[in-house]
């Protein structure tokens, strides 16, 4: 799949899910409605997962009911962790994408979806069939894609093997997730570049987590090897609550925008972006 124009995936769900104070539903709705007017390709807005596991996302259906897609070019993405969640998510016409986290780390797969990697691959197959039947597209995140803190086996070859398994199932979008910010710029370059060169039928993206000092080099590494799909979150809030690492957050959208300022035409609504930043500052204070 040729990758030309930049696709920015804004991830308020990833920012909100680990936030310790419960965010009122109406604030989530106002925030995501503002984001829908900015001009992002996709909004990762919520998740159909167990409220016991991620209580902050228990109101995803209510949030979805309050969203206004009028005049928005953005598509909605919902995260799911099993077939039950996928069966719920595909019922909503407003949702274009389902996102599933497939880990390269056995430990993290159990922590994140309460299943083994082998079981999760079977889930991907079943969810992919659900998506095809319901006119949705499945995005698979290769979490811990650049290593893990648990001592589980990791190599570039393992990542390539998992990506190939997904491509053979018909998955057309794979996002490499730097779940706890372990990736070096060189790793991002090698792993992302290899997949882009060798899997032209798949859209390869990056979901990078970073610190204030290493965000640019990671972003540049992915961009230079041809990656054009980037996940980020305003203010750099978030990260996976299942990873127990508060040192790294999501790639900050404002930094991503500054990186692309003289490289790409993003056609974003500056007024809507300012409103979104204002609402983000209110929510994440």
Tens digit of each residue's pLDDT (9 = 90 or more) over 89-139: 999 999 999 999 999 999 999 998 989 999 999 999 999 999 999 999 999
Average pLDDT along the chain, 285 residues, taken 10 residues at a time: 78 93 97 98 97 95 98 97 97 98 94 92 97 98 93 95 97 94 93 96 94 89 97 84 58 95 92 98 93
* Residue 32 DSSP SS3: helix
Phi, psi of 140 (to 5 degrees): -105, 125
* 3-class SS string, 81-103: CCHHHHHHHCCCCCEEEEEEEEE
Domains of the chain in sequence order = 7-284 (3.20.20.70)
Element (H, E) at 237: none
Question: Residue 119 in contact with residue 152, Cβ under 8 Å?
Answer: no
Question: Residue 16 in contact with residue 23, Cβ under 8 Å?
Answer: yes
| Confidence (pLDDT) at 243 | 47
| Confidence (pLDDT) at 181 | 85
Beta strands in the chain (DSSP E): 7-10, 42-48, 75-80, 95-103, 137-143, 173-178, 203-210, 229-232, 249-250
| Confidence (pLDDT) at 9 | 98
| Confidence (pLDDT) at 248 | 62
| Confidence (pLDDT) at 150 | 92
252: which DSSP letter?
B
Closest C-alpha among 181, 166, 71, 178 to residue 127: 166
| Confidence (pLDDT) at 1 | 47
Instruction: Give the burial class of 40: count Cβ atoms within 10 A of its Cβ; 0-12 exposed, 13-18 middle, 19 or more buried.
Output: buried
Q: Is the pTM for the entire model greater than 0.85?
A: yes
Looking only at the bridges linking them, the beta strands covering 249-250 and 203-210 are: antiparallel
């Amino acid at each position: 799949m040729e990758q030309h124009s930049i696709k920015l995936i804004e991830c308020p769900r990833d920012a909100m899910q680990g936030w310790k104070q419960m965010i009122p539903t109406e604030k989530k709705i106002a925030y995501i409605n503002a984001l829908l007017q900015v001009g992002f390709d996709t909004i990762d807005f919520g998740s159909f997962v167990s409220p016991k596991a991620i209580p902050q996302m228990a109101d995803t259906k209510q949030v979805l009911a309050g969203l206004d897609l009028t005049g928005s070019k953005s598509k909605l993405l919902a995260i799911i962790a099993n077939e039950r969640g996928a069966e719920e998510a595909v019922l909503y016409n407003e949702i274009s994408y389902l996102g599933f986290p497939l880990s390269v780390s056995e430990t993290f797969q159990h922590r994140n979806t309460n299943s083994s990697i082998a079981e999760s691959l079977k889930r991907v197959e079943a969810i992919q069939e659900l998506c095809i039947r319901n006119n949705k597209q499945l995005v698979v995140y290769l979490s811990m894609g650049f290593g893990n803190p648990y001592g589980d086996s990791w190599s570039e070859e393992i990542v390539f093997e998992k990506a190939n398994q997904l491509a053979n199932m018909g998955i057309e979008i794979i996002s490499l997730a730097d779940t706890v910010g372990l990736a070096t710029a060189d790793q991002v370059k090698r792993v992302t570049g290899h997949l882009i060169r060798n899997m032209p039928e798949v859209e390869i993206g990056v979901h990078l987590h970073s610190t204030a000092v290493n965000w640019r080099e990671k972003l540049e590494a992915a961009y230079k090897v041809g990656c054009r799909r980037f996940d980020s979150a305003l203010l750099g809030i978030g990260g996976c609550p299942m990873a127990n690492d508060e040192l790294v957050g999501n790639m900050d959208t404002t930094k991503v925008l500054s990186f692309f300022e003289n490289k790409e035409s993003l056609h974003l609504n500056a007024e809507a972006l300012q409103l979104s930043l204002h609402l983000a500052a209110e929510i994440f204070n």
